[in-house]
Structure 1
């Protein structure tokens, strides 16, 4: 195993917890606590991302070295590593939850390679001071889903954290999957997550809520300097960590809002539903973070959520994600305002969110529908088909795939028939959908562009393959028996989601009927 270059600025420059014993407690006056992963029985490498390994300077041989597998399972340490968990709070389901923190994620440190910085984190590596009543572990089903989705989102073009490896632990973990009293022993696993930074809105919220304002100023300056260095250089703002200026904080917050808006627009473009958009699950870099009960919209429904915990209120459903992202940014603004003379400048950031989101959303819809430019009347046209897709139960991903195949000079609804989940929906709403298709065809024909350019634009905006929940569940079922073949097939498939792949036709179809109500395929819980 070749030496790795660890820098570890977070623990070197920011105050740590003076208590070194690992037990659950309220932590104050610091941003991190030193903690060692809890050893596991028999770590085995189930899968890894070649691309992420290469990004970190790790070879295929490195990844399969026994000593490195021990590290990825929480059983080993290499020179330069610093293991710790960070302190943060958060609003969960709209309510302040107080201290949360890394309850089962343990950092391995900050790795420098090819001029870039990466935080490495083991999710499911054992208890930390922030574990509350939990065991700090993760099960195979949730770990496999996070590993696959992190990589799938990257190749869809969505800003995201990445996943280096998926390791089974050889230990059992007790979980009540649907909180119904049915506790079972499940196989344990650990994902090694990778990002330039895992800092969340909640890191700033906890400091503001506890009145630790000097530490809040220090952490803001640190975050801007370490994680926003390129942006800082572009803006020309001179940052003095000892004398943080209001205009610097306001400009930085506006950039966070813009990045968050762009990320949410990508979610909406591909039909992704995060499922648990608490403020502690929102990245300060505008990355998709913490893949829990996520899902892709199958039959189009703006009110759909994959999270059983959210089934009643649907706070985090597909259609509310832009609204919730803005609400979360308002909570971050409240935390930042505690060190500013007033909050007026932060309002510009929220306006930037609205502006950037609308620009990105209309841009993505323009590309998805193969339009030349966005016109005011396009909103009504698009809303009309989304409403019909909801009523008729039409698959979102497959609809756009087939829409590109419609003969614009003679549009026929039959071209889209495979996207309908039921014959009843096709028959009942067929006339309305055909009328829409006629209007859509006229709109497309009003463009001066050729069909080749339109189809190229649609192909780049509309994936053929997304990680539907049933696909992940099939991989989980096999992996539980020790068979990683479907996991590796999906990993390969999702590397090229916009390109038709021979032999992968089954994954381009809509959700099969057997998966409509099956556990793990339609609804999921936060339990992992």
Structure 2
């Protein structure tokens, strides 16, 4: 056994690179660009174990070199994926401009996941960029993606962050870093858009078959397997976006290259969680028009799915008119699917088990009051769950008292006990979310002071957001009021 194979076996790397066996037009093969002085900053121990990786080995010099792109592990086949999609409504050639897929790890349970390095250097798709990433945005993705996972929202995961010992220039000089991202796959709507626009019909079919086999094998047996693919992707996205809305999560940049066909949340750039409930909330500094505001996320998801459906038209039916009708029928189901998931989730947040016609008006009345009185989204439902209705201006109003009476009457009409209602609400309403000011506090300590203790404590609290523990109280506190609205930046 060679030294590389011995290290890989010791660490637990178990690569099988099916994407690398697809047509070469879908990617470019290249190795990561080495960095000066890699240092492991954070390692996701539980994720490593689920991947079949040796926690101790990953912290050794040879494996930190892998996480930094300085060494290619045995069995991997590094590549940058090509894609092209709509960014703020405008179609562009894109691709992995600062990321490389090392390969696909086969876990002890037989699951196939992508292992990707983000910030690993220039690729043919860098479009003039340096291919690098700053420490702050990589730590942000680590924090938010792990918080999303704990909230039960489908997401890519973060295995590690390594600093590079090199500076990168954005608006100022910043410490460089590389994130190791784990995903069901990195196949995006934009991957299909690229093949549809610039590749062959045969390769479009190959990509569609691959996506079916990897993510939706049950749909492959349908009479029209490509219609089945479209329908399954729509189902996954309807559930995902509903969970975003229920948690108050705002992605920030819902471009078609940021919609994964696996149904996972991907690419945590200018994302954030909403404090004060306002459907028009936008955090991204580049979203001037509010295209990706909280309230617009379901509509934009449907728009992105329509772009995906367009790429599949040649596969849906030989007759273009019939293909368009099939695609439109499938897309039209998204809104109802999303609404059902959202309404079911909102019932859970209010402890409602069964369905009544007037439930939606009860929910919307509460949301309207929350918006009018600038109530905090998460803490309102937290207070309702705990029965502590004294800390917000909303709770002292006549309108809320009337609404509360209606809500209690609604709960009395169902058979479930108060204990069951309370348990449903606790499992539906997180006690804490990654508050923007707490995330910024952790990032500032890490980037400016090399103090990772603040982030470690935040991650620990966020790992069980439904615990309602005394230790979490501090993380439910709101930030001090500021004249400047909170803004996030993409970090590219």
Normalised to the residue count of structure 1, the TM-score between the two structures is 0.87
1:226-237, aligned counterparts within 5 Å?
226-229=214-217, 231-232=218-219, 236-237=221-222
Q: Answer yes or no: is the 8 Å Cα contact 1:251–1:349 preserved in 2.
A: no
Q: Answer yes or no: is the 8 Å Cα contact 1:106–1:122 preserved in 2.
A: yes
1:320 equivalent among 280, 296, 310:
296
1:421-440, aligned counterparts within 5 Å?
430-440=397-407
1:422-461, aligned counterparts within 5 Å?
430-461=397-428
- Structure 2 residue 111 is the aligned partner of structure 1 residue 116: yes
Partner of 1:207: 195
Partner of 1:186: 174
User: How far is 1:76 from its partner?
Assistant: 1.1
Partner of 2:266: 289
Partner of 2:16: 7
User: How far is 1:2 from its partner?
Assistant: 4.3
- Structure 2 residue 440 is the aligned partner of structure 1 residue 473: yes
Q: Secondary structure at the residue paired with 1:416?
A: coil
- Structure 2 residue 354 is the aligned partner of structure 1 residue 373: yes
Q: In structure 2, how many angstroms separate the alpha carbons of the residues matched to 1:474 and 1:517?
A: 17
Render the CA deviation track for 1:444-492: whole Å, top value 9, x for unaligned. 2232321100000000000011112111111111111111101111221
User: How far is 1:77 from its partner?
Assistant: 1.5
Q: Secondary structure at the residue paired with 2:471?
A: coil
User: How far is 1:301 from its partner?
Assistant: 0.5
1:89-238, aligned counterparts within 5 Å?
89-97=84-92, 99-114=93-108, 115-175=110-170, 183-210=171-198, 212-229=200-217, 231-232=218-219, 236-237=221-222
User: How far is 1:432 from its partner?
Assistant: 2.2
Q: Answer yes or no: is the 8 Å Cα contact 1:392–1:426 preserved in 2.
A: no
Q: Answer yes or no: is the 8 Å Cα contact 1:85–1:101 preserved in 2.
A: yes
Q: In structure 2, how many angstroms separate the alpha carbons of the residues matched to 1:92 and 1:260?
A: 19
Q: In structure 2, how many angstroms separate the alpha carbons of the residues matched to 1:435 and 1:80?
A: 64
Q: Specify every segment of 5 or more residues in structure 1 that has no aligned partner in the other structure, as ranges.
A: 17-29, 176-182, 238-244, 407-414
User: How far is 1:335 from its partner?
Assistant: 1.0
Q: Answer yes or no: is the 8 Å Cα contact 1:255–1:349 preserved in 2.
A: no
Q: Secondary structure at the residue paired with 2:253?
A: coil
Q: In structure 1, how many angstroms separate the alpha carbons of the residues matched to 2:389 and 2:198?
A: 56
Partner of 1:21: none
Q: Answer yes or no: is the 8 Å Cα contact 2:395–2:401 preserved in 1.
A: no
1:483-502, aligned counterparts within 5 Å?
483-502=451-470
Render the CA deviation track for 1:205-248: whole Å, top value 9, x for unaligned. 1111225222111111122123333x34xx744xxxxxxx7x11
Q: Answer yes or no: is the 8 Å Cα contact 2:31–2:72 preserved in 1.
A: no
Q: Answer yes or no: is the 8 Å Cα contact 1:89–1:280 preserved in 2.
A: yes
Q: In structure 1, how many angstroms separate the alpha carbons of the residues matched to 2:429 and 2:313?
A: 40
Q: Answer yes or no: is the 8 Å Cα contact 1:36–1:83 preserved in 2.
A: yes
Q: Secondary structure at the residue paired with 1:192?
A: strand
- Please provide the CA RMSD for this pair: 1.7
Q: In structure 2, how many angstroms separate the alpha carbons of the residues matched to 1:100 and 1:401?
A: 41
Q: In structure 1, how many angstroms separate the alpha carbons of the residues matched to 2:421 and 2:365?
A: 21
- Structure 2 residue 491 is the aligned partner of structure 1 residue 527: yes
1:53-92, aligned counterparts within 5 Å?
53-92=48-87
Partner of 1:280: 257
Partner of 2:43: 48
User: How far is 1:346 from its partner?
Assistant: 2.2
Q: Secondary structure at the residue paired with 1:164?
A: strand
Partner of 1:401: 382
Q: Specify every segment of 5 or more residues in structure 2 that has no aligned partner in the other structure, as ranges.
A: 1-6
User: How far is 1:308 from its partner?
Assistant: 1.3
Q: In structure 1, how many angstroms separate the alpha carbons of the residues matched to 2:260 and 2:78?
A: 21
Q: In structure 2, how many angstroms separate the alpha carbons of the residues matched to 1:88 and 1:170?
A: 30
Q: In structure 2, how many angstroms separate the alpha carbons of the residues matched to 1:107 and 1:369?
A: 42
Q: Answer yes or no: is the 8 Å Cα contact 1:123–1:191 preserved in 2.
A: yes
Q: Answer yes or no: is the 8 Å Cα contact 2:379–2:476 preserved in 1.
A: yes
Runs of 4+ with >3 A deviation = none
User: How far is 1:501 from its partner?
Assistant: 3.0
